[in-house]
Chain A
Amino acid sequence: MGPLVPDIIGNEFDLVIALILGIGFGFILEQAGFSTTKKLVGLFYGYDFTVLRVFFTAGVTAMIGILVLGHFNLLDLSLLFINPTFLYAALVGGAIMGVGFILGGFCPGTSVCAAAVGKIDAMAFLLGSFLGIVLFIEGFSIWGDLFIMESMGDLKMNEVFGLSPELFAVIITLVAIGAFVMVTRIEDKVNGRKSSYSTKKMATTFSYAIAPVLIIGILSFTSNHTESVKSDVAEKLSNNTKINEIAADEFSSKLIESYYDFNVIDIRSKEEYKKSHLPLAINIPVDSLMNKEWGNYFTQNHKANVFYGDDFNNVKRAYFTAENIGKAENYGLIESHNEFKALYYNLEQPDKDKRKELDVYKFRKKMGADLTKLEDAMMKFSQPVKKKATKAKGGCA
């Protein structure tokens, strides 16, 4: 599941990937004509809208691609870098860049491309960018406040309008297609060409919109991976499907015998876990089971997962969810956390004449002591490894 950096691809190789992706980026920009300032500024004088076509098509393609990958659980959208919003800095900075675009005829990425194929004006633009950034840094105390004003966090455009990402993508796609038709008309007029847009051709252009809109439509009407797991879990719960149950005594003796064969998983909240938990237990609250960071527990096949909590229904929910994620062996502990504690740690000695109960008492007393010993030994040996899914860093600044 993406993003592959840093968990699947290491941070060292990340730089090699950067170089390779950059080559693709530069190659396509140059092929599209972004290495000549005449094409770039054509956008602002109406004679050549190549930039708008390439830019919008690329943005829509990537946007829809990200939705598709997220839908099929190939990419964890919560880990992506979302450019943070600082309202005034974005508006003022953008406006300043706009002036730079008209004066210089490039933006930073296109100037690198143009410089690579020998455009002297692009090299001058790069020199200017260098100086502009020096100026920004040297005077940072003056505009530092503006830089951080109106911080709105990882805000997304569709959230601002209260739309689903899918609907927003459809709107952007339609706006893009509308813009393509409009700018072709403007181009024809400015260049004094006869209109190249017959009704038929316009219909063809609009038919291009069918593919992306159809893709998004399918996405919004089929349930995504998370939703289908949830509905499967709900179905199994309501059907009272059986799970692999394990009782406290059996579990405890197995744990003492071979603790390394088990992942003990506390599905209660973080706070409850902190207060008290079973020996060697890690905490995965039942609602966060599907997060990428825990994926390895459910896909591995050399340890059995034992779930426990307060409520056996939640244990079953965790069990069914885990079953959906991977093929690891899973068990649900019949006893709740408190029952387990009571069984081994808060024992009351029965009367001497009740032989059978006395045996159980002795057995559990020893078990409790062994569990504590095991826990102490493991504490010294190692803390459970805490894995955290890393949110991607990004942006230009």
Chain B
Amino acid sequence: MKAKPYMNPYLAGVLLGLVLLLTVYLTGRGLGASGAIKSIVIETVQTVTPEHAENTAYYSSFKATHPEGPLRSWLVFEVLGVLIGAFLSGVISDRVSLKLEKGPQTTKKVRILAAIAGGMFFGFGSQLARGCTSGAALSGMSVMSFGGIITMMAIFGSAYAVAYFFRKLWIRG
């Protein structure tokens, strides 16, 4: 079956904006993503090497400020929702299939390695900047946070600055 076309971007934007607005109205906070991955990291480290977690200041201070445990967090549940929502959308629009997407001139191996490296950069940067494109840039913009908006400008500015050097990953040329 052929996948259905994507939604009009402006309509999608308005709807996304309304979801964010509803989030702010209900909870006083915005949406996010990277924070959930951090929770999973902390849970994993605490489970796999509890001694190491005890002896590292970052984990122990997280434990002290989050007595309910890392997984009982707003963002973990929200990201679970994202997984469900995206899957539903994919099912409705016939877009669910195991697939590796890559640029026309890249091998599968390069694409996987670049994706892991990109994830590492993004994960690291999101912790340093206290949020990613969702939590800092989009949610920050909606409440006019200075930190959120300069984070957004730094993300896109830097991506444009290095885009040329990594063009072989994505386009012919």
Contact = CB atoms under 8 A, between A and B. Distances in A.
A362 to B, nearest CB: 55
A155 B147 contact: yes
B61 to A, nearest CB: 10
Contact of B16 (A32, A98, A103, A111): A32
Interface string A154-194: 11111110000100110010000000000000000000000
B133 A109 contact: yes
B132 A97 contact: yes
Contact of B154 (A4, A91, A157): A91
B100 interface: yes
A97 B134 CA distance: 12
A61 B125 contact: no
A135 B42 CA distance: 12
Contacts of B116: 104, 124-125, 127-128, 131
Interface in B79-102: 79-90, 93, 95-102
B119 interface: yes
A27 B35 contact: no
Interface string A81-124: 11111110111111111111111111111111111111111101
Contact of A93 (B115, B138, B151): B151
B63 interface: no
A393 B125 CA distance: 21
Given A18-B75, A69-B25, A97-B158, A132 B120 contact: yes
A90 B129 contact: yes
Interface stretch (A136-144, A242-250, A272-280, A283-291): A136-144
B85 A30 contact: yes
B28 A83 contact: no
Interface residues of B, number: 122
Given A31-B93, A98-B156, A103-B169, A59 B17 contact: yes
B138 A135 contact: no
Contacts of A17: 26-27
B144 A158 contact: yes
A83 B130 contact: yes
A89 to B, nearest CB: 5
A32 B7 contact: yes
A63 interface: yes
A54 interface: yes
B130 A96 contact: no
A56 interface: yes
B28 A80 contact: yes
B50 interface: no
B9 to A, nearest CB: 4
Given A9-B26, A79-B28, A100-B118, A168 B144 contact: yes
Contacts of B127: 93, 132-133, 136-137, 397
B132 A127 contact: no
B85 A26 contact: yes
A355 B12 CA distance: 84
A50 interface: yes
Contacts of B170: 41, 44-45, 105
Given A39-B6, A80-B28, 12 more contacts: A3-B28, A4-B27, A25-B81, A28-B16, A54-B12, A83-B151, A97-B126, A97-B158, A98-B157, A131-B119, A396-B126, A397-B126
Interface of B: 6-7, 9-10, 12-35, 37-38, 40-42, 44-45, 56-59, 72, 74-75, 77-90, 93, 95-102, 111-112, 114-163, 166-167, 169-171
20 contacts: A4-B27, A17-B26, A17-B27, A22-B78, A23-B82, A23-B88, A26-B85, A32-B7, A32-B9, A53-B9, A59-B142, A83-B130, A96-B124, A103-B114, A105-B118, A106-B115, A110-B133, A135-B124, A165-B144, A396-B75
Q: A-B pairs with the 8 shortest C-beta distances?
A: A104-B118, A22-B81, A128-B119, A57-B13, A94-B154, A61-B17, A392-B28, A93-B129
